[in-house]
Structure 1
């Protein structure tokens, strides 16, 4: 699938973010997190990732019921890693109950 076909889907996903995505986005948006620009629901080749810092080559995925597809996630993560991205995955529950821990793991990855 070409990016031009994914862009309208990504726009729709931006309008329909889950509460957990909204919660994390509040901390990542407008370079609030360590002055690093993140994008949300961003097309990378054939995939749309939840959040990405292109400068840091970091993809952040929030997994909930809609993403509970282990094999698809492994294929997607493998592809993104081949494109030199690091992929961090967090469960909705992590964002809801341990947001500081999620932000700390993102911080650690950025500075590793």
Structure 2
């Protein structure tokens, strides 16, 4: 018997695909570093749907969501929205990390070092 999958909203999938095609410079750089298991041999997906949201990067194996934020995430409304979104994702048992676009572009080594320690910790605690 096949597992029953909840059908995702096709509009959400179309939007995720369009987001992959209009990625920011920071997202493109991060994707080059994460794709094809280049980072710690972990498989990441980009612009992945976890309804009702689309997350920037997702690693199913260790339950990690990576969000890259531009300056628009600094407004009060965005801070509140991001907090609700993080709370929702964490309630699913996922770990959410956020990096600013300018950090990814300007301090890539620092971001990757932090990400390495997060992934290492999750790998050691995941079954």
TM normalised by structure 1 equals 0.94
1:14 to 4, 20, 23: 20
**1:16, CA displacement in angstroms?**
0.3
TM normalised by structure 2 equals 0.83
**1:67, CA displacement in angstroms?**
3.5
Are 1:3 and 1:43, in contact at CA under 8 Å, matched by a contact in 2?
no
The count of corresponding residues between Structure 1 and Structure 2 is 111
Distance 1:3 1:81 in 2: 22
**1:105, CA displacement in angstroms?**
1.0
Which contiguous aligned blocks of 4+ residues in structure 1 show a shift greater than 4 angstroms? none
Distance 2:65 2:15 in 1: 18
Q: How large is the Cα RMSD of the aligned pairs?
A: 1.1
Distance change in 2, residues 1:100/1:3 (3 Å)? farther
**1:4, CA displacement in angstroms?**
2.6
State the structure with more CA Rg.
2
